[in-house]
Structure 1
Amino acid sequence: MIIPTYNRADRVCRAVDSVLAQKFADFECLVVNDGSTDDTADRLAEYADLRLKVIWQENRGVSAARNFGIANSCGEFIALLDSDDEWVVEKLKKQIPFMEEGGFEISQTDEIWIRKGKRVNQCKKHEKPEGMFFDRSLEMCMVSPSCAIFSRKFWDELGPFDEDMPACEDYDLWIRAGLKYPVGLLRERLTVKHGGRPDQLSNSVACLDLYRIYAIVKLLQDGGLSAEEYDMALAELQRKAGFYIGGCRKRGRDGQAAKMERLVQDVAAGNTVVPAEIIKI
């Protein structure tokens, strides 16, 4: 499994502890220290478990850290764990056989949500689906990285994470995956997700929908979609862009709104668009 981390010494140790406590013992755990400047390296050096390997790179963001970790891994299955989350001790023991018996190339579990130290209930819209759900994946991210395990075959076909995306890199991977593979769902809460802190990407990166728009434009420009899939992706692009444009106009950013309008018009007309231009808007 791959744990990317940046300046989260206390929290990454909690994540690592939850991995090393797994009842399924045949694994390697790669922690990618993404250029941390706190005492992350010293804290991780205290572990003596041979299953744990810590590798370092200059700070390049979560996508590059995950890619680096996966490139240095050798397992048949690849599990992701964010450094601020943790696993229930039976996660691997239950999820690996679930995938093997079901023939899944990707699966996820249900999860427990902790916000500011308190357990909270999930909204109905966050209930995890299973099978093929490309349409729902376009609307919002329906696979949680810390819950997910996928095969090497899956990764070789659909990876890597887009390193130009400081956020929503998982959304980008999951919408592409939604065209290829059904997602198995193990309906047990085997992942604990902690949230509500300012250092989370969802709180520290402005306008996440801009990166989701970027991901959809990439998908539309790459080709390979059926007519139905193309129409679904274009409709979601227009919906998300509409919210973005409306927000820009409310804040007096008319130039940004106009650029996004032109871009969506070009995509809808079948004109070639450079997706990277979206991030520069």
Structure 2
Amino acid sequence: RIVDKINNSIGQDPDAISIIGVLDIYGFESFKVNSFEQLCINMTNEKLQQHFNQHVFKMEQEEYTRDEIDWSYVEFVDNQDVLDLIEKKPGGIIALLDEACMFPKSTHETFAQKMYQTYKSHKRFSKPKLARTAFTINHYAGDVTYQADYFLDKNKDYVVAEHQALLNSSRCSFVANLFPPLPEESSKQSKFSSIGTRFKQQLQALMETLSTTEPHYIRCVKPNTVLKPGIFENDNVLNQLRCGGVLEAIRISCAGYPTKRTFDEFIDRFGVLAPELVDSSDEKTACAAICDKMGLKG
């Protein structure tokens, strides 16, 4: 609702075919105490890291393979197993959390024990020694230990019906739109809605939107861990670049082909070098012939 209000106020054309968007989110978080909020934020960063991998590594190299270009494949770390651990349904952490929220007798201890039992052999999940509710996930950017305390409370999206109706009847249209009327519910359990599940759905919608765009990535790197100017921690910066796949991306950029043209664009630009070949050959053959005539490897 707030985003809609902002878009309307700046006069965004709803019929616009092309848009330029800026996506700015919280970076990867790892504090002394990490809770449900950090899990959601880090899941988002895992999704965006996968999107980065998909575009910079997988799609780029698949294009070289399709074009039969001699190419040494650059390996990258696939984080799909981390995403499955968190969001897979059934079996993911969010699914287990939703299940726990629907049982009145569930506590954060029973939820943690369920995770320990379910993921005891998962390579991305571990239980700290002597922990009763804490668990550690091996994210693409490093290990993060979460405290399962309050996970159940934070995941429940419960609003008193009377409060919902009161706010919906507000004379301020902005407030009223934030609290639309609740749908008729024949079964509260079947209509259970959680913060985690809704966040996951919204994140998926965002990724579907991003998949239709031509992305450009801006990587933010922390120069030090003490948040003070004039301090540059080499090892810390290098680790961030390594975890984010930046070093592998640089390797692809150095070894790859930054300028791309379709066959017809190439012929339009350089066909004058071999006009006798352009009309008598198909586009791909003509492009290869032009390169051969100029002594270039194509």
Alignment TM class, shorter chain as reference: under 0.3
Whose RCO is larger (CA < 8 A, sep 6+)?
Answer: 1
Structure with more strand by fraction: 1
TM-score for the superposition, normalised by structure 2: 0.23
Larger Rg: 2
